[in-house]
Amino acid sequence: MSPIRALGQIFVVSACVCSLSAIAAPATTEFKTTIRIVDDFMIVVPVRINGSGPYDFLLDTGSNHTILDQKLTEELALRRGDQTPIVGVWGSVTSSAVFADSFSIAGATVPGKDLVLFSYAEIRGLPPKVRGVLGEDFFQKFDILIDYRHQVIRLETGPGLMVEMLRGEHLPIQLDGMMSGRQTLGRLIVTGQVKGLGDNSISLLLDSGSKEFTLFREDLGKGSEWHTFVDPSRPKSSSVTRLETRTVRSLKLGSSEISNIMVIAIAGKQRPDVDGFMPTSLLRSIFISHQGKFVILNPSFAKAPAEDVRSRLAAKPLVIPPDLAEMSPPIGR
């Protein structure tokens, strides 16, 4: 179990009290920056806060809030709110709300009033020099392409060039869920099937902050193994978790399949708003359209006449990004 995921899911329930407004920006504004991949799954991005920085943050599509290291909060003299108890899948913590004027990546900016910021004295599991976690309250303002192979992220403020030029199956995504009778916001939920675990469809959170494909269920059937995991960062009463693992033939998402995948089952936890977490690092790249409410797994780049694209977007002349032009067809990683 990724320590990042154990942290991020704390904030699931609290998201229902937040109403995030839309950002006003030109329909086809595009931003691009390089990213750093740590331990083959963690995505580190450069972030500016109130114009200061850049600071390294973890890009976490599985967290619906943005989290700052307490020392960074103090360095930037950010105003703090009251201590707030936050309850979620993995337990509860007490955190301080934090207020900033703006967050930005390569010029893609979201006003601080549209973010749900929390500050912690210690955020466990982050790579060295990473100062926080950037969650869906930031990224839901954009359509985004995460390209693991070229270590690049692209953001657009509305349906634009990427929607027109990236090809692949459009898988519907759900942007909210329900937990304990309350709505959870800032989610990226897809429907899939795991061969060998029955014919029923399961709901999966697309999670860039998790390393393992994880399901919340009591057992994984024949061929599975049991393990004991002790988390020293949690109270003794809840620090021991029984984990069951098994390799299954494939995970099917739409018409795409990821073969021979290791599954971790966690039993005895509070029922979350999804059946499991699907790490986006299992892919070469992923396009997430918050505007269109769909994702494309391992998209390919389709060349189209510049005149056609210009007429549909009423945008500037077409420029084909070299790294997108090299992207390969949508198959498993």
Say whether pLDDT at 263 is over 50.
yes
Name the CATH topology of 171-285. Cathepsin D, subunit A; domain 1 (2.40.70)
Say whether pLDDT at 90 is over 70.
no
Contacts of 181 (CB under 8 A, 6+ apart): none
- DSSP H helical ranges for the chain: 3-8, 70-75, 136-139, 161-165, 306-313, 322-325
pLDDT tier for residue 96 given thresholds of 50, 70 and 90: confident
Q: What is the pLDDT of residues 285-310, one digit of tens each?
A: 999 999 999 999 999 987 654 455 55
pLDDT tier for residue 258 given thresholds of 50, 70 and 90: very high
What is the spatial distance between Cα 60 and Cα 53, in angstroms, rounded to a whole number? 19
Domain coordinates in residue numbering, the chain? 3-168+291-325, 171-285
Buried b (16+ CB within 10 A) or exposed e, 149-188: ebebbbbbbbbbbbbbbbbbeebebeeebebeeeebbbbb
β-pairing, 213-215 with 256-266? parallel
What is the spatial distance between Cα 148 and Cα 142, in angstroms, rounded to a whole number? 18
Q: Within 13 Å and on the Cβ side, how many CA atoms surround 183?
A: 9
Mean pLDDT for 42-53 is: 94
pLDDT tier for residue 92 given thresholds of 50, 70 and 90: low
Q: 6 vs 77, which has greater pLDDT?
A: 77
Intrachain domains 3-168+291-325 and 171-285 with the same fold: yes
Lowest mean pLDDT among 135-144, 167-176, 177-186, 228-237: 228-237
pLDDT tier for residue 80 given thresholds of 50, 70 and 90: confident
Helix (H, G, I), strand (E, B) or coil at 307: helix
Q: What is the pLDDT of residue 158?
A: 72
pLDDT tier for residue 161 given thresholds of 50, 70 and 90: confident
| Superfamily of domain covering 3-168+291-325 | Acid Proteases (2.40.70.10)
> Which amino acid is it at 300?
S
Helix (H, G, I), strand (E, B) or coil at 4: helix
- Global pTM reads 0.80
